[in-house]
Structure 1
Amino acid sequence: MQNKKIGFVLLSGLIIGPVLGSGIIILPPAVYETAGNYAIFAWVFMLCLSMLFAYQFGKLSLIIPGDSGVALAVERAFGSHIKNLSAIFFILAVCFGPVAVIGTAGHYLQLLTAQTFVQEESLTFGLLCIVYVILTRNITSVGKVAFFMSSFIVGTLLIGSLHTLFTTDGGISLTEPITVYDFGQSLLLLFWALIGWEVIGSYSLEVKSPERTIPKAVALSFTIIAIVSLTVALAFQWTHAGNSGTDDQSLAPLLAGLFGSWATPLISTITIALCLSTVLLVIGAVTRLIRDQAGNGVLPSRLSFKNENNVPSQALLLMFGIHSGMFVLYTMHIISIQQLVAIANAFFLCNALLGVLACLRLFASPLLKAGALLLSICFLCILLFSSSFILAGITGVSIYFVWLQRIENKRKDMLRQVELSLCKKD
């Protein structure tokens, strides 16, 4: 079967939902609680950094295309062993993270259906199976599903928030001062809104005319994400500023004026769609990374197999087995959603950090280098909030692969010196 490739619209569908993520539901109340009426300025600042982050990784995916995504850029910048370290970070993150995300979707699905016949754990595993069934389809089918969910999310939140802004009495007052610490804490919260752009490169071989498609997709995705984020954040702040009388810290009041009693079910549905969009993107990306690593001999060769839909089916089967095992641990209460999220976030951050460090080394533009340096410092600061156990593990693994890379670099230097000496003799 001929491999079907996607255009910039469907690629945008794969990007928008996951980058918005559950953060668009959680962050507006959290940031407003921290920064008060100055929250909107924190959103603007972070979206500026997000634009830089998106541009850098979109450019990387064009310079160094391939299923490995960020890992290929890391190899170009630092060597094959650091590439493998980046791949390990991303694979480990996706081993833990999706079960937590699907667990959240299962919880909201039970709230939405308001039934007790099917337990929350069964709903969670059912959603996990649905995700994997979708991923067995070709990239065009997956893109259509993701585009539909992203359109539903964006349309509902944008229309509800705009209606709130134009019909609700509110206001924004900057008379009360804010401390640097509180504004910094709000930025720290919002840094999670940046995660997601780094997986664009994993789909770079499955788009039509990447030189045109990827920049268009990044531009369209960022524009929509920025508009939705700012509108939702502003609408939430507008209705809560000056103690306007609402104590509801969810986004349901933003939809209540237009959708009435359907507001809460809609928020639940949007959260489920956001979770599924995120999981579709990251599992799809990691299976392509595993296939590429297997093709290069790093992982068993059978994991490089693709089916007639150009899907890395063996890698998909491996990840389904891992996630099923994680699900069993979750249902047995051996590991919690909070622990899964903490572990996954640490590994995602490590992968993103290596990516921006690669940008810092590979890009010639001083502006892009400055942006990469700023992102590197910020990601490192966020990473330091992880548990000491996770940090110790990350440090140990990193030291080992850096040591391997140094040995390889010394070996290459010795070979070059031998070649130079032979050339001089000749």
Structure 2
Amino acid sequence: MYELKKTLGFFSGTALFLNIVIGAGLLILPGIVYQQVGQDAIASWILVSLISIPILIIFTILGIYFPNSGGVTYYAEKAFGNIGKSFATLLLLGAVVFGLPSIALTGAYYFSAILPFQYHFYAALLILLPTLLHLFSGKHISTITTAISSTVIVFIIILLFFAIRDTQGIEAVKLPHINNNIFDLLSPFMIIFFAFTGWEIGAHSAEEFKNPKRDFPIAMLFSFLITTILYLTVAFLVQQEENITDPLTPFIGILKKSLGDKAVLLVSLLATLIVFANLFGAIWGVSRLIYSLSRDKIIPKYFSLTNKQGTPIYAIILANTALLFVLALDYYNFLSIESMLSIAGQNFLILYGVASCALFFLSKKLLFKIISITVVLIMSIIIIFGGVFLPYPLTILIISYVINFTGNKN
């Protein structure tokens, strides 16, 4: 069987996107940003979230008009042919295969604070458990997705309640300096922007929505709003706390006022749960990309086989194997978490540019073309001035040409 089941609606789709997008960065990034820009932190978060909206719109439009499990690779193929698809596929595979193990390691670091042990073992469990859920959940997958996301959100809200309870009130909000210019506010752009990545993975699920034209954009919008509100809330709380000793764990310091030493346990549990949810959603998206590549005969068709519930089991197993392999490379010191995040980050940036260019060529509507040009300009500025090693995407492009040439020759 080669068909995915249409199991997602508005609630389950929103839950899936939240699982993919909300990561342990929720508890880390606001502290790092505050350390860099101080009282300007809230303004920086608001500004970057506004800049992210056109990117979200790009993937929403593409998902509505071109719902396909291939996601951005499918959009690149429709716009630029096989070379475009190869280019996007290599970038996306590189982003997720190196990015997801780093997320698993982050969760493992937190969990080892509760129960000390080899953190690579915990990271492997955080990859294996979501994989097993996907393999054996079948038709109940949308229910499980909603349950995981709901648990994470409820947990976050409860901890935020305790944190907000001890603030001095809205009148005490520290506002940014009026004299600071927009370039100062954008200085932590790359750090904040990492919080708004993930919808490109969610785009792979568009084909599984029961009503993609109605529910897919609503799920995108609501997940973006919820994510933005959560990050702004944590950023606000960090900004009110004057005695943050460790910018990587600001939430622990904030909660110690209310919960004492229990704050370490609760925040560690929350971080582990967030990472689990993040990996659960991301493995879904990666397996659908592998399924799409197999269905299109780019990789062996074996990986497009599904079970009776429409689950691409062999694609999920392949995704799991690749993630565990990269984790093993880190264990044997062939990689580091910093290098994994660096590869993943620049790949995502370039992919946003690819998706924007694809929309420009695929759409005949002037408004959509204006939006795509806007995002291409934003991504180009970030790529040029954001430290991306330009020979890297050029190398990927050359490899794409080689793949396409070899395929045509055969």
How big is the shift at 1:381?
A: 4.0
Percent identity between the two aligned chains = 23
Equivalent in the alignment of 1:378: 378
How big is the shift at 1:186?
A: 2.2
Residue type of the partner of 2:94? L
Classify 1:247/1:126 alpha carbon distance in 2 versus 1 (closer, same or farther; 3 Å).
closer
Which gives a bigger RCO, structure 1 or 2 (Cα 8 Å, sep 6+)? 2
Contact (CA 8 Å) 1:28, 1:232: kept in 2 or not? yes
Residue type of the partner of 2:143? K
Q: State the Cα deviation string for residues 261-314 of structure 1 (Å, max 9, x = none).
A: 332222212222222222222222122122222222221222221122312222
1-structure distance, mates of 2:124, 2:402: 41
Contact (CA 8 Å) 2:205, 2:285: kept in 1 or not? yes
Contact (CA 8 Å) 2:126, 2:279: kept in 1 or not? no
How big is the shift at 1:158?
A: 3.4
Residue type of the partner of 2:348? F
Matched, 1:307 2:332: no
1-structure distance, mates of 2:107, 2:166: 31
Equivalent in the alignment of 1:110: 112
2-structure distance, mates of 1:377, 1:54: 15
Classify 1:44/1:351 alpha carbon distance in 2 versus 1 (closer, same or farther; 3 Å).
same
How big is the shift at 1:140?
A: 5.2
Equivalent in the alignment of 1:414: none
Contact (CA 8 Å) 2:20, 2:202: kept in 1 or not? no
Unaligned runs of 5+ in 2: none
Quote the RMSD (CA, aligned, Å).
Answer: 2.9
Q: Which shows bigger deviation, 27-36 or 316-325?
A: 316-325
- Matched residue SS, 2:187: helix
Equivalent in the alignment of 1:130: 129
Matched, 1:338 2:308: no
Matched, 1:326 2:326: yes
Structure whose CA Rg is larger: 1
Equivalent in the alignment of 2:150: 151
Aligned counterpart in structure 2 of residue 232 of structure 1, from 231, 234, 239? 234
Contact (CA 8 Å) 2:48, 2:186: kept in 1 or not? no
Contact (CA 8 Å) 1:136, 1:309: kept in 2 or not? no
Matched, 1:33 2:38: no
Map residues 9-408 of structure 1 onto 2, 5 A cutoff. 9-113=11-115, 115=116, 118-138=117-137, 141-169=140-168, 170-175=172-177, 177-178=179-180, 180-237=182-239, 239-240=240-241, 244-249=242-247, 250-384=250-384, 385=386, 388=389, 391-401=390-400
Q: State the Cα deviation string for residues 375-414 of structure 1 (Å, max 9, x = none).
A: 32333444454564xx4343122145468889x9xxxxxx
1-structure distance, mates of 2:388, 2:56: 28
Q: If the length of structure 1 is used for normalisation, what is the TM-score?
A: 0.84
Q: State the Cα deviation string for residues 341-375 of structure 1 (Å, max 9, x = none).
A: 22222222222221122123334454443433333
Q: If the length of structure 2 is used for normalisation, what is the TM-score?
A: 0.87
Contact (CA 8 Å) 1:236, 1:254: kept in 2 or not? yes
Residue type of the partner of 1:374? T
Residue type of the partner of 1:234? F
Aligned length: 399
How big is the shift at 1:43?
A: 1.4
Contact (CA 8 Å) 2:83, 2:400: kept in 1 or not? yes
Q: State the Cα deviation string for residues 237-277 of structure 1 (Å, max 9, x = none).
A: 1x23xxx3443531123433444433222221222222222
2-structure distance, mates of 1:223, 1:273: 21
1-structure distance, mates of 2:80, 2:183: 35
Q: State the Cα deviation string for residues 88-121 of structure 1 (Å, max 9, x = none).
A: 21122222222211112122111122x3xx4222
Equivalent in the alignment of 1:422: none
Q: Which shows bigger deviation, 379-388 or 325-334?
A: 379-388
1-structure distance, mates of 2:238, 2:301: 51
Unaligned runs of 5+ in 1: 409-426
2-structure distance, mates of 1:52, 1:179: 22
2-structure distance, mates of 1:324, 1:173: 45
